[in-house]
A and B are shown apart, each in its own frame.
Chain A
Amino acid sequence: GENVEQHPSTLSVQEGDSAVIKCTYSDSASNYFPWYKQELGKRPQLIIDIRSNVGEKKDQRIAVTLNKTAKHFSLHITETQPEDSAVYFCAASIAGSARQLTFGSGTQLTVLP
């Protein structure tokens, strides 16, 4: 089955700096890569996703890049703000699989004021 590794497990940045979280996946059949944000005590919520037919996607301060050859994808947050502090999960989905998403282990991002 699919295996998703996520790094780093914790990340602290100064407000206004950029943050990058990286994930690798094992199954080359995976074609959908969402990122979820989970604030303390809350449910995970989708913040951005990318499909294998594109290499990069942006939404305001958030961007995701995908390198299919190397089987890794990354989340980039620019101009970080305190409200960006949360746990971020990457995930991968295998085309046609009913088991949907395999999640990474999560990154605790702390934005220091």
Chain B
Amino acid sequence: EAQVTQNPRYLITVTGKKLTVTCSQNMNHEYMSWYRQDPGLGLRQIYYSMNVEVTDKGDVPEGYKVSRKEKRNFPLILESPSPNQTSLYFCASSLTSGSGDTQYFGPGTRLTVL
């Protein structure tokens, strides 16, 4: 089944404790990205990757890191999480970075930073 997966789905952590949220897609998509969803703000892009070893900042990159060593995986790293990073995170992928490609979202990761 073609899909985007994320792990973990739920995470409660404390300020400053490094964490990684994994994202994987099995559709051979070139483009992957991370969004955070906050009430009243919609979905805001954190980072994106056009292909392996090619990443760039989105609208809200501060406090996050990403890597794209393999085409199928795009982990999101929070080196030192803070309470303002409490949010719902979605990974997404699309066939290419071309305008108009449908984005497929993962199931989401609800992160709480105490």
Which residues in A have some Cβ–Cβ distance to B below 8 Å?
A: 1, 6, 9, 31-32, 34, 42-46, 49, 51, 89, 93-106
Q: State the CA gap A99–B61 with chains docked (Å).
A: 13
Contact B99–A93 (Cβ < 8 Å): yes
Is B85 in the interface zone, CB < 8 Å from A? no
Q: What residue of chain B has the Cβ atom nearest to residue A4's Cβ?
A: B42
The smallest C-beta distance from A75 to any residue of chain B, in angstroms, reads: 15
* Closest residue on chain A to residue B90 by CB atoms: A43
Q: What's the least CB distance linking A14 to chain B, in Å?
A: 26
Contact of B99 among A31, A46, A104 (CB under 8 A): A31
B99 cross-chain contacts in A, Cβ below 8 A: 31-32, 93-97, 100
Query: Are A98 and B90 in contact (CB-based, < 8 A)?
Result: no
B: contact size bracket: 20 to 34
Query: Which residue of chain B has the shortest Cβ distance to A41 in the bound complex?
Result: B108
On B, residues with C-beta under 8 Å from A are 31, 33, 35, 40-45, 48, 50, 56, 58-59, 90, 94, 97, 99-103, 105-108
Q: In whole angstroms, what is the CA distance A67 to B103 when docked?
A: 24
Return A8 CB to nearest CB of chain B, in Å.
12
Give the chain A neighbours of B90 by CB distance below 8 A.
Answer: 43-44
Shortest CB distance A57–B (Å): 13
Q: Which residues of B contact A103 (CB under 8 A)?
A: 35, 42-44
Query: Which among B35, B41, B97 is the interface contact of A98 at CB below 8 angstroms?
Result: B97
**Can you identify 20 A-B contacts, CB atoms within 8 angstroms?**
A1-B59, A32-B99, A43-B106, A44-B90, A45-B105, A46-B103, A93-B99, A97-B99, A98-B31, A98-B48, A100-B31, A100-B33, A100-B97, A100-B101, A101-B43, A101-B103, A102-B45, A103-B43, A104-B42, A105-B42
Please indicate the chain B residues that have their CB under 8 angstroms from the CB of A44 in the complex: 43, 90, 105
Given A31-B99, A32-B100, A51-B100, A100 and B48 contact (CB-CB distance below 8 Å): yes
